[in-house]
Amino acid sequence: MFYYILALFVILLDQFTKWLIVKNMELGDSIKVIENFLYITSHRNRGAAWGILQGQMWFFYVITIAVVLGLVIYIQKAAKGKLLLGVSLGFMLGGAIGNFIDRVYRKEVVDFVNTYIFGYDFPIFNIADSALVIGVGLLMIDMIREEREAKKKAYGENGTHHQ
Catalytic annotation, residues = 111, 129
The Cα 103–Cα 88 span in angstroms is 23
DSSP letter for 49, please.
G
Closest to 90 in 3D by CA, of 113, 74, 102, 77: 74
Nearest to 36 by CA among 112, 91, 95, 118: 118
Q: What angle do CA 38, 44, 47 make, to 5 degrees?
A: 110
CA dihedral (66, 69, 75, 77) positive or negative: negative
| Rounded distance between C-alpha atoms, residue 62 and residue 3, angstroms | 23
Other beta carbons within 10 Å of 123: 15
Residue 89 sits at the vertex; the CA angle it makes with 150 and 65, to the nearest 5 degrees, is 130
